[in-house]
Structure 1
């Protein structure tokens, strides 16, 4: 299989960009505004990865969730989204190297496209990626395989084990697994694994190259 027929898909938060602190601070302002108890960042870390609605549900309790709370969070996060967020070390080198192996680099995040786009452009990730998508870009979010399957359909490439889904949460690994891709779990992020075991586990962004470049050579 030619190298340029592979597709490499990255998650965003906890994989390319460390956004946790800005999410946490926005969430704490939201909880304080609506009179809910606050908690430390480790709890927020355990709540992220499934989109904003799920984040709010977990923070206030599913029975207490309402659209007003979610909208308030979105407005605060829109202001703080890149306040302290930063790229993980060596991400630029990793992406530049991978772009030399295939033109098909993509981001699929479970956060909304609006916020995904702000972060991608602010950190100049747009120079590496052909396209990027949010949790509202498809009819289902990860862990559904639909985002990946729709992406492959759009570019007329069959899902294959020479392509990769890379992320720090079970949602990424399950989405990639059910779509028929190889999966790389980023343990340096802030997600968790569930019922599906990833093909590879990396402890730093540079280790992604050890997995993928080895497959090209």
Structure 2
């Protein structure tokens, strides 16, 4: 029986694509480039904001990354102001999380989003203290797909990796769960498609949170 559920943030529990696309587009605008649409933003995210900025610059034409260092600073400032822009939980997520809490199962967030921004997004959408643990980039733990964060979460709750279920929407998430020795749940409502996720042979693939409830019955 699973004792802990670990969730990615962007594209898994919260629909943040408008916030991310808006912020990276404003960053590119600073350098005279055009906007980055949501479809491309979905492909650029998942590995932390530095990779997002790098990929967006190359996409915009700065293949030598001349503006990279400045763009990191610009993005951080822009995102601090816009991290909650049109952010909302996915359908059924809040109800599913409440269901897990009522079952006595620990719930945690593990994200490559900056730690302070992660806390802000989670608390704005679900309330302070709703999750038992939130861990983001800059918290002293290596970015996913390094398993350090997932294993740290398991240790925090004094459970084994085999007692944890890891939920995510990208290849980075699937690799994180695999590297940590945890069963993975691929969610298809996020930023990547089913085909990409199924390459990593997740334990479960779901298109709505309620589709995984039977595991806890």
Fold conserved between structures, TM > 0.5: yes
Query: Structure 1, residues 25-49: CA drift from partner, whole Å, max 9, x if none?
Result: 1111111111234332211111111
1:208 aligned to which of 202, 207, 212: 212
Task: Quote the residue 1:101 is aligned against.
Answer: 103
In 2, distance between residues paired with 1:121 and 1:215?
27
- The separation in 2 between residues aligned to 1:85 and 1:191, in whole angstroms, is 18
Q: Secondary structure at the residue paired with 2:184? A: strand
Rounded to whole Å, the distance in 2 between the matches of 1:31 and 1:125 is: 32
The structure carrying a bigger strand percent of its residues is 2
Tell me which of 54, 59, 68 is aligned to 1:57.
54
Query: What is the Cα deviation at residue 125 of structure 1?
Result: 4.5
**Does residue 18 of structure 2 align to residue 17 of structure 1?**
no
Matching of residue 151 in structure 1 with residue 153 in structure 2: yes
In the other structure, the counterpart of 2:165 is: 164
| Partner SS state of residue 111, structure 1 | strand
Structure 1 stretches of 4+ with a deviation exceeding 6 A read none
Counterpart Cα distance in 2 of 1:179 and 1:135: 17
Can you give the 5+ residue segments of structure 1 that lack an aligned partner in the other structure? none
* CA offset digits 1:100-128 (Å, max 9, x no partner): 22341100011010110110111124443
Q: Secondary structure at the match of 2:215?
A: helix
- The reply on whether 1:41 has 2:38 as its aligned counterpart is yes
CA contact (8 A) 2:94 2:126 kept: no
Quickly say closer, same or farther: Cα 1:113–1:140, change in 2 above 3 A.
same
2:83 pairs with 1:81: yes
Deviation per CA, 1:66-96: give whole Å up to 9, x if none.
2221111111111111121111112111000
TM-score (norm 2): 0.89
Task: Please tell me the root mean square deviation across aligned C-alpha atoms, in Å.
Answer: 1.8
Q: CA offset at residue 63 of structure 1? A: 3.2
Unaligned runs of 5+ in 2: none
Deviates more, 1:94-103 or 1:10-19: 94-103
Count of paired positions: 209
Aligned to 2:69: 67
**Would you say 1:29 and 2:31 are equivalent positions?**
no
Q: Structure 1 CA distance, aligned partners of 2:104 and 2:121?
A: 23
Question: Any conservation in 2 of the 1:111–1:134 contact (CA below 8 Å)?
Answer: yes
1:187 equivalent in alignment to 2:184 = no
2:4 paired residue number? 7
- Residue 131 of structure 1: how far off its partner (Å): 1.0
